[in-house]
Structure 1
């Protein structure tokens, strides 16, 4: 249990130490007004409190990621703890903070617009396609997943199609209505449920003295499984996830002051890392080792693990509430996925979203595409999603590095994790069967060579951007009050 508790402690320490370092490097401007006030439109730009924004942000970025990912990652053994802690502090939280803060400085812009400004206009089209595909896949799968869980929970008494229809109806309202009408009102309660259930499981592990394995050379990972690069695509939301870069602009448009950014963006990623640690530890300790966990996963998937852990640690009533929380999680990421997709498309085609009719013109085709996608098998598509998710994270980290380079600040805090994940992204797609299927050693060579080439291009572009004195932060006076 020492490895587990040490990891939790390091995450908390990381927030109060490295989080402050990142905040200081970025340079908060306390007097600078935020888009929530300057662009206030009553739809997306709406000032909300720090506590409310924090819980909404946690649910936006969470989904089932910090639970299902670590459960699957537990198959690698205690090494999963290392990636969660290091990845969360030095990659994921930096990624979320910089994405959110740079967005605040640029009218609450989404990643495609930021990529266009800092990485070149071509990247705007590339990232827009990546982001919309990611969000459409997330939204669609997060219709099917909670509907299936509810169908089982209700013993099949309600038809699966009916449950899917009900969730779609909710998504439509959550996407079209102002952000403070549904999301702003109910998310804080759902966020509290997520935190309480995770803490309940964590405290239960400690009180019962669960046999959480300690990290050692002998159990570094089971059966010599190829940790690199697969673990970085198994545990994502609990350590680093490009999906977060599509969600943070929702809250960058509701943040009241820049000083709140560390708690909202960096802090909620740390909270997600703690949740991931708890579920990874529970999965490693409650099923008699690797083989037992593998059997449960083979029989019922991560949902079966959640049900068993929740009931064991929290009892029948508490366990049911925890499972309901897991049902809620994908719903609360699915609705914001569709909302983000709508906002990104609106920015791309430059259509303001104040009028309901304008929102409908984008939302109707979006939901129609999602309904169509629910009819096909997602197994292959979801494998591509895993890669596209981390590729998006790399792009966001490079945007952050470019911003800091031009500002003559310590850009290494973003470039180092970005370059590391770029190696993994390239190696994975070169080696994987869904990619080029090359031998692993050759894929590693390609990953390092490709990263070296892209770093040369990055520094070349960065020097030109600095020399041209690219405007990092859009002047408040130039902001359009009717922004999309």
Structure 2
């Protein structure tokens, strides 16, 4: 438990110390931001700082720091080091500069920023790569939640249309179309803060449940520095890829421009971009701790966690929440495993629209121009 608390403290101190160094390196000033200067009422909309933070957190997180961290816990508490230092020195820096470079370039997508600094060849590579990957992400986070809802309905005894995968897939895609098409503050700006708070509360509830239950003990890094993976999978580089969203993820660079278009001041960047990544790191650290402490260890290997994950990641989340928070935890888990991936899917499609709009220089302030991109993308 000492190593967990140390890593948690390092993450918090890292936000104030190294995060400030990163902020000073960029040098935010009082210049007029794209949200103020352009303000088209659709993608460029000024939002309050607290809302920017929570929307950014949901944009970049979803279930990434939960699924990835639980899988990463298979290697044991050594995963705490990757989450902690990866967040401070890699993820936070990556997300901050992705957002702030976009902010300095009229809220441009990451592909356009790449073109400015690395030339037209890399710009076109990033354009194609970004759009294809964003649509793939959106597709996964449409089919996945639809399947989870069907599973929940089946477990509750429902039948008929409520257990139809196609029905829920259509419902989710209709929502995605709405969230991609209309103003960012009309849907995303209103519901994301609520779900962001739920994500944070779920993590707090999990760690509180671990601390208050004497049956659960978070192992120390120095006692289990080697790999505890039951399959013998090496730490390098599999653990780093598995826990990508809890330390550094390229997907975040496609999401940060969404909030870069909604900032009233450049000086909000430290809290919004670096701060949201540190918050995601804290959430990942907590879920990794849950994976390391709640399940049986056999012969120095995390066999109990492997068995839980083999039943399905969603069921593993239910199990953790149930063990640490009881009935309240199950309710939060149901919200988390359904809503969190949806909040990554809709912004993935929205980012795809904006990337295409920047690519083909199509203004998005008219309904007709947005429909030209929304319809083929969805």
Alignment partners' CA distance in 2, 1:196 and 1:217 = 30
Give the total of aligned pairs. Answer: 365
Partner of 1:25: 25
Task: Give the structure 2 partner of residue 234 of structure 1.
Answer: 242
Cα distance in 2 for residues equivalent to 1:128 and 1:66: 26
Deviations 1:182-238 (A, max 9, x none): 011111111111111111111111121422111136542125531111112100111
CA shift, 1:317, in A, is 2.9
Per-residue Cα deviation, 1:230-255 (whole angstroms, up to 9, x for no partner) = 11210011100000000000000001
Task: Tell whether 2:213 aligns with 1:220.
Answer: no
Higher relative contact order (CA 8 A, sep 6+): 2
SS in 2 for 1:42: coil
Alpha-carbon distance between aligned partners in 1 of 2:130 and 2:87, rounded to the nearest angstrom: 22
Question: Which SS does the other structure have where 1:181 is aligned?
Answer: coil
Name the CA distance, whole Å, in 1 between partners of 2:332 and 2:70.
19
SS in structure 2 of the partner of residue 216 of structure 1: helix
Could you tell me how far apart the structure 2 residues matched to 1:143 and 1:184 are?
Answer: 20
After superposition, give the CA deviation of every residue in 1:142-187 in whole Å (9 maximum; x if it has no partner): 0111111111111253112111111111000000001110011111
Asked if structure 1 preserves the Cα contact closer than 8 Å seen for 2:28 and 2:266, the reply is yes
- Taking the aligned partners of 2:117 and 2:240, their CA distance within structure 1 comes to 26
- CA distance in 1 between partners of 2:273 and 2:225 (Å): 34
Uncovered stretches (5+) of structure 2, i.e. residues with no partner: none
1:178 aligns with 2:183: yes
Residues 258-279 of structure 1, C-alpha deviations (whole Å, 9 max, x = no match): 1110000000000000000111
Q: TM-score, normalised by structure 1?
A: 0.74
Match of 1:292 in 2: 304
Question: Would you say the 8 A contact 1:306–1:323 is kept in 2?
Answer: no
- Select 2:260's aligned residue among 228, 252, 258: 252
Residue equivalent to 2:50: 51
**Which residue of 2 is the match for residue 380 of structure 1?**
none
5+ long unaligned stretches in structure 1: 368-484
1:441 aligns with none
Aligned mates of 2:279, 2:347 — CA distance in 1: 19
SS at match of 2:222: coil
Aligned-partner Cα distance in 2 for 1:298–1:274: 25
Distance in 2 (alpha carbons) for counterparts of 1:219 and 1:302: 25
Deviations 1:57-83 (CA, angstroms, capped at 9, x unpaired) = 000001211110011111111111111
2:335 equivalent in structure 1: 324
Q: Partners of 1:4 and 1:218 in 2: how far apart?
A: 13
Does structure 2 conserve the Cα–Cα contact (< 8 Å) formed by 1:71 and 1:280? yes
1:250 & 1:244 partners in 2: Cα distance? Answer: 10
Q: How does 1:121-140 map to 2 (within 5 A)?
A: 121-140=120-139
Q: If the length of structure 2 is used for normalisation, what is the TM-score?
A: 0.94
Superposed structure 1 runs of 4+ greater than 6 Å apart: none
1:4 maps to what in 2?
A: 4
- Distance in 1 (CA, whole Å) between partners of 2:273 and 2:170 is 33
Matches within 5 A, 1:420-439: none
Q: CA deviation at 1:113?
A: 0.3
Shift of 1:322: 2.8
Structure 1 pair 217/197, CA: closer, same or farther in 2 (3 Å)? closer
From 258, 272, 277, give the equivalent of 1:269: 277
Aligned to 1:201: 206
Question: Cα offset for 1:318?
Answer: 3.1
Within 1, Cα distance between the matches of 2:219 and 2:132? Answer: 38
Cα distance in 2 for partners of 1:254, 1:201 equals: 32
Correspondence for 1:446:
none
Contact 2:63/2:336 (8 A) holds in 1: no
Alpha-carbon shift at residue 131 of structure 1 (Å)? 1.0
Structure 2: how far apart are the matches of 1:176 and 1:96? 25
Contact 2:77 2:224 survives alignment (8 Å) = no
Task: Please name the residue that 1:482 is paired with.
Answer: none
In the TM superposition, residue 342 of structure 1 has moved relative to its aligned partner by: 0.3
